[in-house]
Amino acid sequence: MRPALALERHCAAGPTWRCEADGEPFPCAAWRGLPLDDHLRGVLLAGFTLFLRPAIRDLRGRPEGPTPPQIVRRFLWFLPMTDEEARATALRYR
């Protein structure tokens, strides 16, 4: 099966942001396990930043839920990011 077709089932939306295929926090292991190169990082950056604002809105403040910087790191796992950079990014997407 082509990777793109296998990933079609691995999608999510608010308010829970859990993968519809396996129930893991989205993006799930299927996404995080992709072999990355610079091109794919660019594609993922363009796509996954679209999820940041709604994910932060839906997930922040939930009991035992992730903080906005944790949400940023979760959705942009493929980028090296310091805690300070994650906080700054979260503030831009609130």
pLDDT at 1 (0 to 100): 45
Would you list the domain boundaries of the chain?
7-92
Neighbours of 91 (CB within 10 A): 12
5-23 pLDDT tens trace: 578 899 999 999 999 999 9
72-83 pLDDT tens trace: 999 999 999 999
- Do 44 and 78 contact (CB within 8 A), yes or no? yes
What is the pTM assigned to this prediction? 0.90
